[in-house]
Amino acid sequence: PLIISGPADASSKWYAEFARIAPLLKKDLHYEVDIKKRTIGVHEAGVEFVEDQLGIDNLYEAANSPLVSYLNNAIKA
């Protein structure tokens, strides 16, 4: 039989987690958007908010570095 999907990996957990967190972030308080450059920048208040939501001490610690991409992508979405 053909198996179309396998067990969920860790990344799907993070997609769901950041999909939950992103709507809670407030533009200009937690992050800023540069339309011309098509970029977003997360303010210190946003980093602290996300760290509290995830229960981690440092979002930019090496072990947590993949989470920064999830955060940026969730805000852009």
Q: C-alpha dihedral over 63, 73, 12, 21, to 10 degrees?
A: 90
CATH number at residue 21: 3.90.1440.10
| pLDDT tens for each residue of 37-62 | 999 999 999 999 999 999 999 999 99
On whether residue 17 sits in a domain, the answer given is yes
On whether residue 16 sits in a domain, the answer given is yes
Query: Is 24 in contact with 53 (CB distance < 8 Å)?
Result: yes
| DSSP 8-state symbol, 6 | -
Q: How many domains, in total, are found in the chain?
A: 1
pLDDT at 6: 57
Could you list the residue range(s) of the whole structural domain that residue 25 is in? 10-76
Residue 11 has pLDDT above 80, yes or no: no
Residue 25 has pLDDT above 70, yes or no: yes
Number of C-beta neighbours around residue 72 at 10 A: 17
Please state the pTM of the whole predicted model: 0.81
On whether residue 14 sits in a domain, the answer given is yes
